[in-house]
Amino acid sequence: MSVVTRFAPSPTGRLHVGNIRTALHNYLFAARHGGRFLLRIDDTDRERSTAEAEQAIHADLAWLGLHPDASVRQSDRFALYEREFDRLRSDGRIYACYETPEELDLRRKILLGRGLPPIYERPEGENVAVEGRSPHWRFRLDHDQPIGWTDLVRGDQRFDPHLLSDPVIRRADGSWLYLLPSVIDDIDLGITHIVRGEDHVSNSAVQLQMFAALAAQPPQFAHEALLVAAEGKLSKRLGAVGVGEMQERGLEPMALLSLLARLGTSQPVEAVADPEPLAATFDFAHFGRAPAHFDMAEVEQLNARLLHTLPFAAVAERMPPWVDEQAWTVLRSALHHAGEIDQWHEVVQGDIAPPDLPADDRSFLAEAAIAAATTDWAEDPWHALTDTLKASSGRKGKALFRPLRVALTGRESGPEMAPLVRLIGKDRCQARLAAAARG
């Protein structure tokens, strides 16, 4: 069986961390098995769906590097839904209902007041039409057909159909709700695995009967634990963390994907530069049922680790003209975000203000300026210079290295000095040592 997965967002906004995780896991599972990853735009809600949001979803997936093998739009598939709706209606699996939302709400309150589950009370036969009202439509569950499946994350799942309401599948205005069109699409597109959050478990129970009513083999299901904020509480803030914030922060997409691929498992989280190694070990058996804790600070840490290993080719298009491969290789270790490299332009190619140092450090730097003039810069000038100064001044450790770093870079910390001084160059280094000695 060739694996086919799908990511099915509604075009109502940009991708956030929760649905990015769903998209990623669908992508990785398909990649692991040499299958296909499809994008389905669920735009049946015409009031909330926008073309701009749909374009943003495509752009966000492209930025993340999660490229679908094909994409479809539900609004282009209404004729297919209509045909299957008519078939199910003729088979007696769909029926019309005329209650208003207020009447249904009153029924639920009465049932709850009696200590009963608030399940829709199915009429004995067809609902009687109410003049002036258009019906909404429900799918008739088969109470004699047990519902169960082996979930790839949650294990054995069992539902009693007597305890489920016949779900509304179509509104009175003719617009579609999620459940039936999704099943029709999954059948038509040959979806083999549905990967989504555990909040869809009851939907899956209902949809299994829809697959059966349409004489189709259902996909396998993987219902994953939901993400929670780092402090352990469900948080609306997670809905705001997504591609937009990542781009504003200047983060690498693979920093986020490296975390989301392993979050909720016991596998170590490692910063990787592309999804291939994540796909190679991706397995739903590794995921537990406990909520997965998401912390943006972990993404930041992974981002720094990732940058420190990225080759120049991976960032070249985003770099300013003054940054070449040598500059990137030297400076990347000091970066938390790729955009920070511009902060090193003055250090490497410009002028820096002489630091305010104690008199004894200035005397030491005067000695360093003289030594730098006679140092061989063709090989390893930093170690040649510091070895000379260590022998002549008796300084070592911080007393030796700190004044030199501050004088040459204007900073207390940064990349390794040996390659950095070669990048700065002999003339600038000598001039900065002399300037720092004068104070």
- Tens of pLDDT, residues 252-291: 999 999 999 999 998 999 999 999 999 999 999 999 999 8
Are 301 and 375 found together in one domain?
Answer: no
Which CATH number covers residue 292? Answer: 1.10.1160.10
pLDDT of residue 131: 80
Q: Cα separations (Å) of 189 from 159, 182, 201?
A: 27, 10, 21
Are 381 and 419 found together in one domain?
Answer: yes
**pLDDT tens for residues 99-123?**
888 888 898 899 889 888 888 888 7
**Which pTM was predicted?**
0.91
pLDDT of residue 234: 52
Q: pLDDT grade, residue 130 (50/70/90)?
A: confident
Give mean pLDDT, residues 419-433: 96
**pLDDT tens for residues 139-177?**
999 999 999 999 999 999 999 999 999 999 999 999 999
DSSP 8-state assignment for residue 222: E
Residue 167 lies in a domain: no
Q: What are the CB-based long-range contacts (under 8 Å, 24+) for 258-267? A: 258/302, 258/306, 259/294, 259/298, 259/299, 259/302, 260/17, 260/20, 260/21, 260/24, 260/25, 261/24, 261/25, 261/28, 263/21, 263/227, 263/292, 263/293, 263/294, 264/224, 264/225, 264/288, 264/290, 264/292
Residue at which a domain ends, from 348, 376, 411: 348
- Closest Cα partner for 141 from 103, 113, 169? 169
Residue 257 lies in a domain: yes
Which CATH number covers residue 417? Answer: 1.10.10.350
Q: Count Cβ atoms below 10 Å from residue 152 Cβ, excluding itself.
A: 19
**pLDDT tens for residues 21-52?**
999 999 999 999 999 999 999 999 888 899 99
Residue at which a domain ends, from 307, 340, 364: 307
Are 263 and 340 found together in one domain?
Answer: no
Q: Are 27 and 275 in contact (CB under 8 A)?
A: yes
Are 322 and 261 found together in one domain?
Answer: no
Give mean pLDDT, residues 199-214: 97
Give mean pLDDT, residues 230-235: 60
Give the integer Cα–Cα distance in Å for 380 and 358. 28
Mean pLDDT for all residues in the chain: 94
Give mean pLDDT, residues 306-329: 96
**pLDDT tens for residues 62-86?**
999 999 999 999 999 999 999 999 9
Q: Which two tokens stand for residue 435?
A: 């300037």
pLDDT of residue 250: 93
Place of tokens 């007597």: 162
pLDDT of residue 292: 87
Residue 29 lies in a domain: no
Helices (DSSP H) in 41-177: which residue ranges?
51-64, 78-90, 101-113
Which residues on adjacent β-strands are paired with residue 293?
Answer: 228
- Closest Cα partner for 340 from 332, 329, 350? 332
Are 334 and 381 found together in one domain?
Answer: no
Q: Is the pLDDT of residue 231 over 80?
A: no
- Give the type of residue at 362: R
Are 344 and 356 found together in one domain?
Answer: no
Give the integer Cα–Cα distance in Å for 78 and 174. 11
Q: Please report the beta strands in 192-250, taking only residues with DSSP state E, as ranges in sequence order.
A: 193-197, 220-224, 227-229
Are 302 and 316 found together in one domain?
Answer: no
Q: Is the pLDDT of residue 200 over 90?
A: yes
Residue at which a domain ends, from 255, 285, 307: 307
- Give the type of residue at 346: E
Are 338 and 399 found together in one domain?
Answer: no
Q: Which two tokens stand for residue 37?
A: 């990853």
Give the integer Cα–Cα distance in Å for 249 and 200. 32
Are 344 and 373 found together in one domain?
Answer: no
Are 326 and 378 found together in one domain?
Answer: no
- Closest Cα partner for 27 from 235, 253, 353, 247? 253
Residue 411 lies in a domain: yes
Residue 16 lies in a domain: no
- Closest Cα partner for 184 from 119, 69, 94? 94
Residue 46 lies in a domain: no
Domain residue limits at 393: 351-438
Residue 330 lies in a domain: yes
pLDDT of residue 230: 75
**Was 233 annotated as part of a binding site?**
no
Are 343 and 360 found together in one domain?
Answer: no
Q: How many domains does the chain have?
A: 3
Q: Is the pLDDT of residue 125 over 90?
A: no
Are 295 and 232 found together in one domain?
Answer: yes
**pLDDT tens for residues 328-376?**
999 999 999 999 999 999 999 999 999 999 999 999 999 999 999 999 9
Q: Is the pLDDT of residue 235 over 60?
A: no
Residue 250 lies in a domain: yes
pLDDT of residue 129: 79
